[in-house]
Amino acid sequence: MKRVLGLDLGSVTCGVAISDPMGIVARAVETVRFEPDDYDDCLTKVVAIIKRENPDEVVLGLPKHMNGDIGVRGEVSIQFKDLLSEKIDIPVILWDERLTTKAAERILIEADLSRKKRKKVIDQMAAVQILQSYLDAH
């Protein structure tokens, strides 16, 4: 299997996760922080992580409404995918991320993390959820 990097793109943060070399288990890497809607800065930081981690492909969460429609956040992810694809020579795959942040938050609450600690790692955990969903489907 391939090593896969997962991304959960927000308006000020981007959670990053990576799979093990066998492509079975996802783990958190870091949270990229950037000024509100400064996706050029985010792109630069994400490209650096991709070069460092050397994955075979990237999975980017695609936020959809519960009815399947793509809203503003989804459009931002699609545009970010296009920009990222121009900068790297590996596939960038959009993956449905509905409810991943809720699942990540539930896991962190069950782990009894304080609200302050949850806020620091929620994006990484959402990236793990997105990536693990993708790995499980493949």
Is residue 118 pLDDT above 60, yes or no?
no
Residue 119 CA to residue 115 CA, distance in Å, equals 6
Provide the residue range defining the domain that includes 100: 4-137
The dihedral over CA atoms of 11, 51, 134, 77, expressed in degrees to the nearest 10, equals: 30
**pLDDT at site 97:** 79
Buried b (16+ CB within 10 A) or exposed e, 67-84: eeeeeebbebbeebbeeb
**pLDDT at site 37:** 87
8 A C-beta contact, residue 100 and residue 64: no
pLDDT category, 5, cuts 50, 70, 90? very high
Q: What is the pTM of this model?
A: 0.84
Average model confidence (pLDDT) for the chain? 85
Q: Encode pLDDT of 27-76 as tens digits.
A: 999 999 999 989 999 999 999 999 999 999 999 999 876 676 777 888 99
More confident call, 10 vs 123: 10
Residue 107 CA to residue 119 CA, distance in Å, equals 13
Is residue 120 pLDDT above 80, yes or no?
no
Is residue 102 pLDDT above 80, yes or no?
no
Is residue 96 pLDDT above 70, yes or no?
yes
Residue 16 CA to residue 14 CA, distance in Å, equals 6
How many structural domains comprise the chain?
1
| Domain CATH for 104 | 3.30.420.140
